[in-house]
A and B are shown apart, each in its own frame.
Chain A
Amino acid sequence: MKCEEFQSIGLDAGTGRISAADESAAAEHAAACSRCAALAESWEAARAELSLFADATRQAQAPPRVQMRLLQELRSQKRPHQLYRRTGIIAAWGLAAAASVVAVVSWQNWRNHSAHPAIGTSIPAVTNVVPMPSSSDAVLVADEDTGAFTPLPGALPLSSDDGAVYEVRMQRASLGALGLPVNEDGASDWISVDVLVADDGTPQGVRLHEDAALSLPAQ
């Protein structure tokens, strides 16, 4: 071993960091080289003093107050986390409930709509739309008297076979919304009307039940 090698690894003798062969080579070199022997001796003295310093700080650890502060911080971090979580759960349940209500209402509307198709948005104040019964004598079915339907303004000529006939109750004034002339004297009277509705849902003609109109009390 040369002096340079000794200075590099020889000072690690006795630490377990170098091999046994290197340790014996370093010992041989120190025995032969007084300069390196002095260096080794000086380092041993320094190492002994270092161990004093190491011993003085070997058991050192952070004071307990550090752990207390950290746990306090951990708790303060945890609290908002739980609050956000609880709020999130409540919000999620609220949203789910609202969605359920909307779904039920929508379904009911759709169901009512499909059971009673619209006869056009232009007919206001229709309070009682009654689908035509299956019995042939009810509601003066149009096919028995197609000529009695008064075509609405702008409506195409349509036979009752091409559409559906609905009996509705309405105030006479509502006929005005369909484009028909209305006598102001009996505008508030309740009347029964057959409405001829095309396949696309638009009203095409109306037929008044004069007798029904007379018998119905005004509400």
Chain B
Amino acid sequence: MNVLGERDDVLLRRAAKGDEAAFTDLYRRHQASLYRYALRMTGNPWAAEEIVQDVFMTLIRQPKKYDAEKGEVGAFLFGITRNRVLKHLERSPRELSLDQELESGSARPPVDLLTPAFWAERRERAEHVRDAVLALPLEFREAIVLCELEELSYEEAAKKSGCPVGTIRSRLHRGRALLMARLELLRDVPRRASAGD
């Protein structure tokens, strides 16, 4: 059955009746953004995988939970993902690193002919940033993830977070300040260490 170009809610109705092609298309449309959000928020690929799976399991088992009048399927899925992420972070506030994901093929930047030293340094810096982002308080972290990493507008980020635009701006402002301080600190640690040698 051809499902290309179908609206999400149509696909969801078909998927609820057991249409695998419709479900697959719906899954492929949304899984990556949900996974990225979960990964950037938790810093743990295993947790992100579990969260995405859980979200779509909910869609399979309780498709009637989706109410078209309340918004689009994408927003509905993001809402479930966000709840799962928050629950996960409540259970384990500080997660493991993203090492595995950063080393995996799917997350690696395009390979070119730059030197291994360049890639090593780049990965180290990315790890610093990741640590700095994961060290942020949850609401600031979410603002940074949505506005700086996902590059959403303030309005979109506010909608996804379920708060006013002003709140997002405020959180982003404070998040940036904390992030800059943290990155400065992380940049200084190697310098201080090398200076002490």
Contacts and interface: CB of A to CB of B under 8 A. Distances in A.
B18 A81 contact: yes
Interface string B52-88: 1100110011000000000000000000000000000
Interface of B: 15, 18, 20, 23-24, 27-28, 31-32, 34-36, 39-40, 45, 48-49, 52-53, 56-57, 60-61, 98, 101-102, 106-109, 122-123, 125-126, 128-130, 133, 144, 148-149, 153-154, 169, 173, 176, 179-180, 183-184
B36 A58 contact: yes
A216 interface: no
Contacts, number: 121
Nearest to B104: A60
Contacts of B40: 53, 57
B60 A49 contact: no
A63 B39 CA distance: 12
A88 B110 CA distance: 56
Interface residues of A, number: 35
Contacts of A82: 18
A135 interface: no
A147 to B, nearest CB: 82
Interface in A35-57: 42-43, 45-47, 49-50, 52-57
B177 to A, nearest CB: 8
A185 to B, nearest CB: 80
Contact of A54 (B20, B35, B149): B149
Contacts of B107: 56-60
Contacts of B106: 59-61
